[in-house]
Structure 1
């Protein structure tokens, strides 16, 4: 295989899967990874001027270097932002939480907490944000979201998980699963927080439908890096390409950029502006609630809500076909690779129920109206809710098609299903 210019073969994809399992134990655990959403990114221009002169390396060799990375300790600053082409989620999150979640003082009618990570995540799926991260192995992580006049921190230290919102002086406490207390782990699941997390998810798609190459070098956060480029071979995907800057010395992904097939600036771009691979001070992970802070215990919330914490939105009211909606069924997968489409059937074949007055916050209605695009075909009629990355076709008879594919691809899939 010639260095720098070859696509990954199917055999290489198999090797990647094995390497990915080895690399998984080095990723930031879900207790901290939940601080960021899967659709967050970084303002471009993190790379310093001038591309470093590094030894040639093939795509397979670079992937193996990522998998072999021994990085378990680091600290630094990560800048993130997203341009999905949709309205801000900030007001939408507040609207849902206000129905039984946290208020401005850290608690609301549902005895929720403004420090609850489940609610805080909604603020990170749009706009630009700066995170300060620290990792010391699998048992100690901390992520802080830096705001203009406040700071939100999520800390995992052994069996303890704390979240603190300085804006409301509210704290949220949970026990890690498997702890002797038996309390549930109430932290968000499977949501990436660092470039390494995003890279792992992107490389899972590598296979016969994917081209993986090395495209030059860059300098990120003052460190020399190779540029790994992942592209769909198929047409119809909303993903144009993914570029991962990989630290030449440690094999750690330093920057992740996803560019849409439709062109324009990056949809997702996540990267370090500062990074230090030495062990963070032990005191970094210490936390005691400040005087006067309102502390909410996760297990108490779960008991009150019958096992499901209050104040956490599970689905959009009136959209029963969406995953997580009341009575929704698991999806059927149409297609393969980058063109995979998830198909959900609404219970009883019911169509999409228009929200009743006052049932959905005004921000939510505005959000849905801004995304809607009526379509028709053999399947009948429906609406495509579109972003620059993920699109969803909701038919009037209650079927939902979702994928990182174009509107035309969704309509084609719906027609073929008839």
Structure 2
């Protein structure tokens, strides 16, 4: 079990490539869109088309643009974790945090669940992540550092899950799960990376959610999602806007997944990295959160108020909330930029805001978190009195 947790720490990011091969939607890229002349289709038929897609091979270029409405926090997570795996490291868990802000260009290749390659292109430098059979290789050209992990295939294998027997059954389950809180419609057509696509639009029916809509452009021929857009009710740029600029569903050459250690590169084995970080990063992060009054969530466990898109998780840290100046130095400016003081029947507290997820921390240590407006969090805190 420990070995599985260890290896999956690095395998999960590269699994993005595998997910992309079958359900490309989490990390695809910005692409020009336009109307396509396609036959009409219902939302259920489009969901069935996605479920029936058997795409296993592809290669392409995509861009992902993320705007959470946050101040820059490159290196913040690494700084809190205390693991020293930030810039100048090939560690995937550090490098791929770059994707949570800004705009990035990536190249992807996939040949089924056993072989994927993802390359992050930032200026003249490149970061490559390769999964080939039971091995994961990662290379950071800026530092000439290599990361290597053995046993990736078995450790990264997801547990078996019982799925609906047919695409129609899966579509029925999706629509049933949406219930009265969600609208699922076909929002016209588009052209993504030169391919005709349908737009599947998923939106909340409830008031108070920060989510305006999730739109997925689905390839009309293969049923493969090609573009993913998450819009916030706050307007402006999408929170996530990602879609292919080029895509080819032919099988990539086997040599695409070969990896040779560059001359002079320093190689870090996953086992050694795990030993170096053993007990350190989780403990340091837990201490940092605990020092700022966020360590009690695991003790009391969250409760959920509401349902659907306006559900709010709430828990009691068990102690008075500290001031921002008590936070770890890596986080102080970040928290200052996010926080607004609020008050109500519950007393007073601070709302930490993004374009999607907001959190209210009251002065007596209670926390309310959800993809809802700050006012919805205040209302929930008042109702708890």
Measured at CA, do residues 128 and 57 of structure 1 come closer, stay the same or move farther in structure 2, by a change above 3 Å?
same
Q: Which residue of 2 aligns with 1:382?
A: 349
> For the Cα contact (< 8 Å) 2:29–2:61, is it kept in 1?
no
Q: Is 1:306 equivalent to 2:246 in the alignment?
A: no
The CA RMSD measured in Å over matched residues stands at 3.0
Structure 2, unpaired ranges of 5+: 1-10, 20-24, 157-170
Residues 114-125 of structure 1: pairs in structure 2 closer than 5 A: 114-125=89-100
Q: Is 1:261 equivalent to 2:233 in the alignment?
A: yes
Deviation by residue 1:257-311 (Cα, 9 ceiling, x = unmatched): 1111122221111100110001111111111221221222222232344366689
Structure 1, unpaired ranges of 5+: 1-28, 107-113, 186-199
Measured at CA, do residues 396 and 253 of structure 1 come closer, stay the same or move farther in structure 2, by a change above 3 Å?
same
Deviation by residue 1:12-35 (Cα, 9 ceiling, x = unmatched): xxxxxxxxxxxxxxxxx8352458
Q: Is 1:404 equivalent to 2:375 in the alignment?
A: no
1:92 to 69, 76, 82: 76
Secondary structure at the aligned position of 1:208 is classed as helix
> For the Cα contact (< 8 Å) 1:42–1:81, is it kept in 2?
no
Secondary structure at the aligned position of 1:55 is classed as coil
Distance 1:395 1:142 in 2: 45
Measured at CA, do residues 327 and 304 of structure 1 come closer, stay the same or move farther in structure 2, by a change above 3 Å?
farther
Measured at CA, do residues 149 and 265 of structure 1 come closer, stay the same or move farther in structure 2, by a change above 3 Å?
same
> For the Cα contact (< 8 Å) 2:111–2:252, is it kept in 1?
yes
Residues 205-224 of structure 1: pairs in structure 2 closer than 5 A: 206-224=178-196
Higher helix share: 2
Q: Which residue of 2 aligns with 1:275?
A: 247
> For the Cα contact (< 8 Å) 1:80–1:129, is it kept in 2?
yes
Q: Is 1:102 equivalent to 2:85 in the alignment?
A: yes
Measured at CA, do residues 41 and 278 of structure 1 come closer, stay the same or move farther in structure 2, by a change above 3 Å?
closer
Distance 2:181 2:303 in 1: 20
Distance 1:338 1:357 in 2: 33
TM-score, reference length from structure 2: 0.82
2:294 to 294, 315, 321: 321
Residues 288-367 of structure 1: pairs in structure 2 closer than 5 A: 288-306=260-278, 316-317=288-289, 318-321=291-294, 328-346=299-317, 349-354=318-323, 359-361=328-330, 364-367=331-334
Measured at CA, do residues 178 and 221 of structure 1 come closer, stay the same or move farther in structure 2, by a change above 3 Å?
closer
User: 1:91 Cα deviation (Å)?
Assistant: 4.5
> For the Cα contact (< 8 Å) 1:82–1:126, is it kept in 2?
yes
Distance 1:295 1:279 in 2: 30
Measured at CA, do residues 294 and 246 of structure 1 come closer, stay the same or move farther in structure 2, by a change above 3 Å?
same
Residues 39-118 of structure 1: pairs in structure 2 closer than 5 A: 46-49=31-34, 51-93=35-77, 95-96=79-80, 99-102=82-85, 106=88, 114-118=89-93
User: 1:102 Cα deviation (Å)?
Assistant: 3.5
> For the Cα contact (< 8 Å) 2:16–2:26, is it kept in 1?
no
Secondary structure at the aligned position of 1:57 is classed as coil
Q: Which residue of 2 aligns with 1:189?
A: none
Number of residues of Structure 1 aligned to a counterpart in Structure 2? 352
